[in-house]
Chains A and B, each alone.
Chain A
């Protein structure tokens, strides 16, 4: 929303500097996107007249002009435009002037210098529309009107000695009234402590315009009352379409509009002034295009029908549907309601009679249409922020007044006004003490009342604490008392509000166990040489398939940014595989990446029918060194590092190929194919499945070009958190020295280490003795051997005495016996 400070000052009688106004807007209204001091942009640019014209002796394409710039001496300027003639008025950029266009498009503005062109000096430049930032034409030098006074600063002549502030639309989202300069002038006047008086024309709702001449038939039917609360129009005759006067063109340029002709320019000007969009139809075109020939212009507001289309003012055909509101003749759409007129009824240089429309449309409908058609227009932007239907008539009348002033136009119909339900101001009661508590301030009643009066809230009733006001109908955003609290706070100034810490009771904050657990894991992994990553949740079919994952289990995005970001990942591992590959290429040869995040599996929902969101710890461990052992064991080592630090015991590891699938969760079923079945394990704690660790599947490793020694780890943190961690009580520490025995056991390959370990452990831990078991070696004669040998070291102590050889022998015998009978073990 671009505003001119000159106009603002004129409307609001604001006597403040440009800087103060910018600060005022920022601190009391909303974000300022940018501002520009036009007078500075146009300094050293003057109105000049061409006095002599010659050809360049050495350059066919250059004209040599002598300019009267108001100084005593004529100035010689060379230009590529040879169409200029003596007497033409131009904008002359002196040496040292900045080319206005380049101030906002280039890093450094282009500065004019005197320079020689093929032997002749050019002492400055004559600007084109584009160079002067006043239009798009850069092919010829811009001609100024004949009466332009020579020597006058161009900015002054063009009324460009102004300051333009661009207020961010987003900050005004709920303030339809601030999409007109009038609204902003009201706010600013009040901010600077003065009451605002809305110009009388803006509130004059009487339909007091009478036909002056040549009665034109105008028949309007509203078949879309729900979405078009008010439609007003008037017909005018004897219009002379011509170029707008300079001040109007200049004003429009400052608002960011392109001047077209006096009629269009007046509608745009008033629209920017009041915030109320207007549209002018060519009356004769409306009649002649109507398939049902009639003397009267027949206009209907209705929803479009499927299959209908319209050629817009943007010269594009827009396909319509039954959710789009249109303005029609008896049969065909003439305009897309509230967004854009149609080119068939466009006002052009031959137009003599017009229909002027000032209507109110539903913000939601306009917003949807604008989105559906991908069409953003100034009118649409204004309507979608909710406008006051009560401004339709005053604004229409103001436009008529201006048109009459600018051309010979006459009123040729009554005002048509379809307004079945009148918008009444809303009565709101606020408590003054409540205002002060809510904002944390201590304002006197008078101050509050004054602020509201300045903002033109009529006061209906007041007592000691309660104040009843009417919210002006242009303030569509004010519906509850808190909205008025905001107005009071805003105008009083948020920066005048002190900082006061709330007083709180001593109830301790709740613990978030998952967050705390993640913090611990992060610390343990980072302390163990692993690097934490934070990869995207988005992935695609090829990446999932490369990781042996079923892409059908992924949620699909309806509006993905790119095909490679079209799915929600079902596991964090593929992201880590990609990043592992990347870092290998980067030259790292041994590293561990990990991430804690949430994967999503389609159809896997929580109790609220939302995608189940469990936190996962996922990690990929890789090394290019040649190793003979399986990478499974490094993954296990890292998992046990976490588990032992967290004091979690009794974890079981079951080979993936031996785990029955029916006992697996959706998550593991989804991710298990990324792992090699014979070198990976499902990790469980009692009934709780924690996750999966092991070697990455060979094919997957090949797909991601990963070395042989690559393992993965995928642990559900929510499951981990659900394990009851035993608070071990103190047990008496043994006082007597320990005795060590090594035991080498040969067993069949299918006997697991843990079974042997548990058996031994049980036999050396009871009321009398306490023992530890460690593994010294696991040996297999050849790959094909049926048996393996495991060497255990037992460290045993008695609570009461020093163990002698006999005691040790008896304990060892017991251990061996059980191993022999339970596992057919041979003691070597």
Chain B
């Protein structure tokens, strides 16, 4: 190795304890040792250039490595003293530097903003609010909802289980039994919450999303009431008149079981990308609560009847805010969050 380079290498060993800023100045500033050595390559005889270049590279690596190490260390802060946690600010903090609320753009998460709006509408309509659990048992997730053990409909829900045998709810219906038991009819409750599905993630599917369940139980409650209640709510939320359709579907916890379909509020049924050019959007599952579910909830199905529905809040939010990838909702990128 070139003499000069060797000298610098030796010097570097001696400087190993220098703080980051000093090291940086000494070696890689415009007049730094390494910078100068690199410039010197012009004056090296051609037959030695290759060897010199190699030496320079080695040296450069050592310097960079040391600098990186120092930089990480400088991130680590060790307070010498205990602070006084009861004080409004730290000792010797200049007057204009004392902690204040920051003047930057704060935001609510778009999804929670929508949950709040949805809940407010239902509260105005006279519904209670009960939030869903995020870890539950088989009874609430399946059995109380008329999914006996071995029922094929259990396959419809790709459910996560913990090693202790708890289930991560795949739908907010996991709260139905609790909502039914909580009080005597009339029961009007909406049940928003985070749910989990064991499925691969892409732009329109997440393993985690929000759902909002609702139930209405009283004497003489009918499918016609269900149709009107959901329609009224959606018109209030989407701030437009809608045409609605009900299609048959299957859920073990309702009888009849339906799919609620609305005319696309964005294109007036002429077809757009939101409705997949069909003019209609399938928005949620719903139906009349199965008598077995009422019975499990301590309610006599011979006296009372009721309806229930559940929809995905993520999808509704995405439709409303024209968000094209469900993953953005959980990515927490400020470029995204500060748009709302």
- Residues of chain A touching chain B, judged by Cβ–Cβ distance below 8 Å, are 26-31, 170-175, 363-364, 367-368, 371, 384-385, 437-441, 480, 482-483, 485-486, 489-490, 494-495, 497-502, 504-505, 507-510, 512, 514-515, 519, 522-523, 525-538, 555-561, 565, 568, 579, 582-583, 586, 588, 590-593, 596-598, 600, 602, 610-611, 613, 627-630, 632-634, 636-638, 641, 652-655, 657, 676, 678-681, 694-695, 698-699, 701-702, 705-708, 749, 752-755, 757, 775, 777-780, 783, 788
Contact = CB atoms under 8 A, between A and B. Distances in A.
B45 interface: no
A737 to B, nearest CB: 26
B223 A495 contact: no
Contacts of B221: 502
B104 interface: yes
B208 A701 contact: no
Contact of A556 (B109, B128, B162, B220): B162
B257 A486 contact: yes
Contacts of B126: 504, 507-509
A490 B332 contact: no
B120 to A, nearest CB: 9
B40 interface: no
Given A610-B136, A610-B137, A531 B200 contact: no
Given A500-B224, A558-B161, A637-B101, A534 B188 contact: no
Interface string B224-249: 11011101100000000000111111
A364 B150 CA distance: 5
Contact of B223 (A439, A536, A706): A439
B316 interface: no
Contacts of A681: 85
Contacts of A174: 153, 250, 252
Nearest to A778: B91
Given A363-B150, A384-B152, 11 more contacts: A170-B156, A173-B152, A489-B223, A509-B126, A519-B116, A532-B337, A557-B160, A597-B194, A602-B164, A678-B79, A706-B75
B106 A655 contact: no
B109 A702 contact: no
Given A30-B250, A529-B103, A780-B92, A505 B186 contact: yes
B119 interface: yes
A497 B246 contact: yes
B134 interface: yes
Contacts of A602: 164
Q: Considering residues B91, B109, B135, B225, which has the most beta carbons from chain A within 10 angstroms of its beta carbon?
A: B91
B135 A600 contact: yes
Nearest to A494: B246
B79 A171 contact: no
Contacts of B17: none
Interface in B60-98: 72, 75-93, 95, 97-98
Interface of B: 72, 75-93, 95, 97-109, 111-112, 116, 119, 123, 126-131, 133-137, 150-153, 155-156, 160-164, 166, 168, 186, 188, 194, 196, 198, 200-201, 207-208, 216, 218, 220-225, 227-229, 231-232, 244-250, 252, 255-259, 282, 288, 290-291, 305, 329-330, 332-335, 337-338
A750 B202 CA distance: 56
Contact of A494 (B80, B106, B107, B247): B247
A701 B75 contact: yes
A149 to B, nearest CB: 40
A499 B244 contact: yes
Nearest to B159: A559
Contacts of A30: 247-250
Contacts of B332: 533-535, 579, 582-583, 593
9 contacts: A483-B255, A485-B288, A499-B228, A509-B129, A591-B334, A629-B89, A630-B90, A702-B76, A752-B84
Contacts of B200: 561
Contacts of A638: 101
Contacts of B111: 534
Contacts of B201: 561
A385 B136 CA distance: 27
A504 B106 contact: no
User: Across chains A and B, which 10 residue pairs bring their CB atoms closest together, nearest first?
Assistant: A440-B224, A440-B222, A754-B86, A629-B90, A364-B150, A681-B85, A499-B228, A486-B256, A494-B246, A533-B332
Given A515-B119, A610-B137, A778 B93 contact: yes
Contacts of B257: 486
Given A502-B229, A534-B111, A559-B198, A610 B97 contact: no
A529 B194 contact: no
Contacts of A367: 150, 152, 155
A753 B84 contact: yes
A26 B129 CA distance: 33
A220 B188 CA distance: 57
A278 to B, nearest CB: 21
B91 A568 contact: no
A28 B248 contact: yes
B256 A489 contact: yes
B245 A526 contact: no
A636 B85 contact: yes
A583 B338 CA distance: 12
Given A494-B258, A534-B329, A778-B91, A529 B106 contact: yes
A628 B198 CA distance: 48
A74 B194 CA distance: 68
A636 B85 CA distance: 9
A363 B152 contact: yes
Nearest to B164: A555
B80 A783 contact: yes
A523 B207 CA distance: 28
Contacts of B282: 31
B135 A525 contact: no
Contact of A701 (B77, B81, B104, B129): B77
Nearest to B289: A482
A679 B79 contact: yes
A694 to B, nearest CB: 8
Contacts of B83: 630, 632-633, 655, 678-679
Nearest to A780: B91
Contacts of A495: 245-246
Contacts of A611: 135, 166
B86 to A, nearest CB: 3
A172 B250 CA distance: 7
Contacts of A504: 126, 186, 188, 218
